[in-house]
Structure 1
């Protein structure tokens, strides 16, 4: 990946979780594209129905370049699953076109099979790994439990105590610490925008952006202290 690009959820995770979509749906490959860091920050947590038409107006052709469906009805949160289905078709068509170009450049003695992504296969081929993040989070939670510590909460909703407003969704959290009431609140934030980390810090959470960093914290600051 180019150093200046970042992976971006077209439909923001927080909005989708609040609307009741599951983690595999939220993290479907069809919901990802690459943006510059500046653009990624600018559109973070914004409703696609708001920001998509703006960027198409400013940069004509940008939707086609990112294989984003042109139908505005598909940019609505309630139509998210239909958006995924349509974008899978666009991605599959682009992949098949690319394979056709490769096949056209090969020598005549090389036999080329049919495209690996077709109408029937697109759901499988495009969606491979769409729940990888879910498995990573669950494995991390289980790893902590196996070490005799508290079970974390997946998709933890951070709520303002006074207003009741949902502020952010953490991939995994221990609001009372990995050792209940003995250690600080901890959160795992994978591929989250800066604002989510700021919210976590503001509410007293120590947060980690990789599983490796969280495990290092558990081993060096929790388990070693417990054994001392």
Structure 2
């Protein structure tokens, strides 16, 4: 046990969680062990998929749920973003197929405006979330940074950095829960 404590103190300092892990999440490799650890943290927390009210990440992993580009790939390509940037794991979220199909190539500012609107009208368009507090919880559990609902191309790099930080914090919380 002493060996574990010494190793943790040396290897898993605050600098690891706040800097090193965030940098390791800066990758386009979907099979990254860091992305997989993020998904494990979501499974342990029983998180629902992005914009999903019912289906959790574990079910999506078991049944091959869709991986959604939060900033759509085609939008990023049209704006000169290269593959290594548009396929960043910080741009991925597990999502129900029917929600992914409806979003298609819409910008976050467009589809999130509609999602927020469905909380006012109580008529779901994207998923079943029709309450503002449930939407806020879903975005938090999926590590979506504040302000995402109004982001455009100029916000993309900042979005990636902020999301990596949130993902690293979720992994850290998971590790501390073990």
With the shorter chain as reference, the TM-score category is 0.5 to 0.7
**1:26 corresponds to:** 86
Structure 1: segments with no counterpart, 5+ residues: 103-228
**2:157 corresponds to:** 81
Structure with the higher fraction of residues in strand conformation? 1
Task: Provide the C-alpha distance between the structure 2 equivalents of 1:95 and 1:74, rounded to a whole number of angstroms.
Answer: 26
1:39 to 71, 81, 99: 99
1:103-118 equivalences under 5 Å are none
Shift of 1:54: 3.0
Aligned length: 102
Gap change, CA 1:14 and 1:62, over 3 Å in 2: same
Give the SS at the match of 1:33.
strand
Gap change, CA 1:33 and 1:25, over 3 Å in 2: same
1:4-23 equivalences under 5 Å are 5-23=65-83
Task: Provide the C-alpha distance between the structure 2 equivalents of 1:4 and 1:36, rounded to a whole number of angstroms.
Answer: 10
Q: Spell out, residue by residue over 1:89-137, the C-alpha distance to the aligned partner (whole angstroms, 9 max, x if none).
A: 00000000000001xxxxxxxxxxxxxxxxxxxxxxxxxxxxxxxxxxx
Give the SS at the match of 1:67.
coil
Shift of 1:74: 6.5
1:91 and 2:151 correspond: no
Give the SS at the match of 1:91.
helix
Q: Spell out, residue by residue over 1:3-24, the C-alpha distance to the aligned partner (whole angstroms, 9 max, x if none).
A: 1621111111100011111111
Provide the TM-score with structure 2 as the length reference: 0.53
**2:112 corresponds to:** 52
Task: Provide the C-alpha distance between the structure 1 equivalents of 2:113 and 2:169, rounded to a whole number of angstroms.
Answer: 23
Shift of 1:72: 4.1
Give the SS at the match of 1:45.
coil
Shift of 1:45: 0.3
The answer to whether the 8 Å contact 1:6/1:37 transfers is: yes
The answer to whether the 8 Å contact 2:113/2:149 transfers is: no
The answer to which structure, 1 or 2, has the higher relative contact order (CA under 8 A, 6+ apart) is: 2
Structure 2: segments with no counterpart, 5+ residues: 1-60, 120-129
1:71 and 2:131 correspond: no
Gap change, CA 1:26 and 1:93, over 3 Å in 2: same
Task: Provide the C-alpha distance between the structure 2 equivalents of 1:74 and 1:66, rounded to a whole number of angstroms.
Answer: 17
Rg comparison, structure with higher value: 1
**2:23 corresponds to:** none
Task: Using the TM superposition, name which of 40-49 and 72-81 deviates more.
Answer: 72-81
